[in-house]
Chain A
Amino acid sequence: MGKTNLNTFRNQPDEAGRFGIHGGRFVAETLMPLILNVEKAYKEASADKSFQREMYYYQKHYIGRPSPLYFAERMTAHFGGAKLYLKRDELNHTGAHKINNVLGQALLAKRMGKTKIIAETGAGQHGVATATACALFNMECEVFMGAEDVERQKPNVDRMRLLGAKIHPVTSGTGTLKDAMNEALRYWVTNAETHFYIIGTAAGPHPYPQMVRDFQSVIGTEAREQILEAEGRLPDALVACIGGGSNAIGLFYPFLDDTDVAIYGVEAAGKGLSSGLHAASLTGGTPGILHGNRTYLLQNDDGQIIDAHSISAGLDYPGIGPEHSWLHDIGRVNYVSATDEEALVAFQLCARFEGIIPALEPSHALAYLSTVIGDMDSDDIVILNMCGRGDKDLGAVLPVLEKLGRM
């Protein structure tokens, strides 16, 4: 059981992988020995300076870290409230934060002697990042992707193929991200001895939520140093979008014990929370068990999982990482939401005011922020995680903006 040391929010999970009641290792016996192996290997790697040096090398020379912390002057003036800084993880190689985690896990797989990699992907960003790392380290790569997403995200499918990955379109269940994850887990069960599964978000069985958080925490660690350098003090608020929640936990984690920093996680409200067509597991879900962990889920009264809906394929997931569920339960982070339409408005606004085309995912974070930032003091400072760029979304966004008469 998770014991909460009241002096810190940074001591989870416990030995059993629990964040409060959330997390854990709810997997079939076939996977259990593998997960214990990953846990052991990760513990050893975390304590190994040479592993950390290798990570740092690739972060700096391959991903292009540190990513800038950029003062968004025109949007700040437009909103007329707090100063807005963007943590520019969209400038990473492959165009999103996903590569931070993938490189860490790929190096771990390499260390464990595994040369065959599997991954699930929704929007394709995690798939592209995984295919990229596999090309870099000469590993075989197989990516599971919902059949509908294969259609919606053709440019990313082509990128993965070019990088040498094999794509498995998933038609089982409802053919979305959750089914891609089911299918990747099934494939892993079947090829347990030879393959390493690179999970793309801070969810799944222990140690994945912890491991992904640790690999993504480079975002928050850098942002903390950068804002101290730029402003001489910590920010008043952090904002990030949440699907599974890996970019958000990466930004939040290094700030969790700075209790004067307000933290906002923005879920996808789809067509609106009351429509039932959304992906807001914390705001609209209840705790349950899926994909190896206990966490908030969209589900019915009988414990059957309900499909998520979001214009953003990357947020279109009925669960959320277990650490977010815990931070929600204890109230350290405020979880809010933004609709498809609000995200589209923010998408366009950011492009026009800053010359930055954001991914639909961080557009949700910006959409929520736009409703509160104007009321903040002009001395206040906000950091928003610009976790991905929007090139991949043009096909989905442009027809809608044209239909709304906004182009």
Chain B
Amino acid sequence: MAGRIDTAFAKAKAENRGSLGVFITAGDPDAATTEALLDGLVDAGVDFIELGMPFSDPMADGPAIQAASLRALQGGMTLTATLEIARNFRQRHPDMPLVLMGYYNPIYIYGNDRFIADSVAAGVDGLIIVDLPPEEDTELCIPARDAGLNVVRLITPTSHDQRLPAILAQASGFVYYVSVTGITGMASAAATSIADAYRRIRKQTDLPIVTGFGIRTPEQAAESARLSDGAVVGSAVVDIIADGVANPASPDAAENRAVIVRKVVAFVGELSAAIRA
């Protein structure tokens, strides 16, 4: 059965272009803003959405996404509420792929089986769990795959060829190429290194390969989407939210939220236009 992720990538491919994914953190700065942002991302033309599950100690993330997690947690966000946002989103958007991204501990505390069941019920399509390498697959990734969730793998410049079969063994949906050896929101990778990595990974899998980490501009998104099968933008979007929270355009919360959403939608619209150009 082709899932929403497979369908979305097939559609972009048929349009002869790469896919665009955008990351935002659930509850940053509150659930209502996240729900409005998710609707805005769909309107702006993204192909899939990564929804971050906030964690107090995100060790693979740079300052922007760490701060987003803290804003969300200060606003009272929980994993239960994140799944609620996903469930509401699915009711409004039956086709848009939604991937949950985060760290293992909140899931472990929620309960792996319960988390998998609730994710499936909410209409989540896949999981990216940053601190679960293939060596730690048995507890969550394999049961999640068996329940029909895509397990999206991170491949990094340090993942050498001999390691790829282990990484790809349980992978489904797409694979996420972390184009810089580093944390989110850093400098972007050189085009040649992305192209080389793409060829190297392509030899070992037929799954779509998307590029992420360090993609901040429409030009970079277009280039990454051309060199691979898609681009993910996170920190640059999160920065707009951070700025909207730090420098409110209006004392009225609803109005300020609308301004943040408008700015994000405008930016993501540019990303979307660039990969379609």
Contact = CB atoms under 8 A, between A and B. Distances in A.
A182 B181 contact: no
B250 interface: no
A31 B132 CA distance: 11
A33 B178 CA distance: 15
Interface in A292-341: 292, 294, 297, 299, 301-305
A28 B136 CA distance: 11
B215 to A, nearest CB: 17
Residue of A173, A191, A286 with most partner-chain B CB within 10 A: A173
A299 B55 CA distance: 11
Nearest to B153: A29
Contacts of A289: 103-105, 108, 131
B183 A189 contact: yes
Contact of A29 (B62, B63, B167, B182): B167
Contacts of A292: 131
B59 A182 contact: yes
Interface string A276-297: 0000000000101111101001
B181 A304 contact: no
Interface string A77-118: 000000000000000000000000000000000000000000
B186 interface: yes
B133 A28 contact: yes
Nearest to A292: B131
A303 B79 contact: yes
Contact of A299 (B109, B135, B154, B157): B109
Residue of A25, A32, A290, A302 with most partner-chain B CB within 10 A: A302
B109 A303 contact: yes
Contacts of B160: 33
Contacts of A31: 158
A178 B154 contact: no
Contacts of A185: 59
A137 B173 CA distance: 48
Contact of B56 (A26, A32, A189, A305): A305
Given A291-B59, A299-B105, A28 B131 contact: yes
A28 B130 contact: yes
A407 to B, nearest CB: 39
Interface of chain B: mostly helix, strand, loop or mixed: loop
B261 interface: no
Residue of B56, B110, B159 with most partner-chain A CB within 10 A: B56
A33 B106 contact: no
A34 interface: yes
Contact of A33 (B132, B154, B158): B158
A398 interface: no
Given A29-B155, A190-B182, A290 B57 contact: yes
> 9 tightest CB-CB pairs across the interface, nearest first?
A303-B109, A303-B106, A190-B182, A28-B60, A30-B156, A304-B56, A302-B78, A303-B105, A289-B105
Interface of B: 55-63, 66, 70, 73, 78-80, 103-110, 130-133, 135-136, 153-160, 163, 167, 178, 181-183, 186
13 contacts: A28-B156, A29-B133, A29-B155, A29-B158, A29-B159, A30-B182, A32-B133, A32-B163, A173-B70, A182-B58, A302-B80, A302-B109, A304-B73
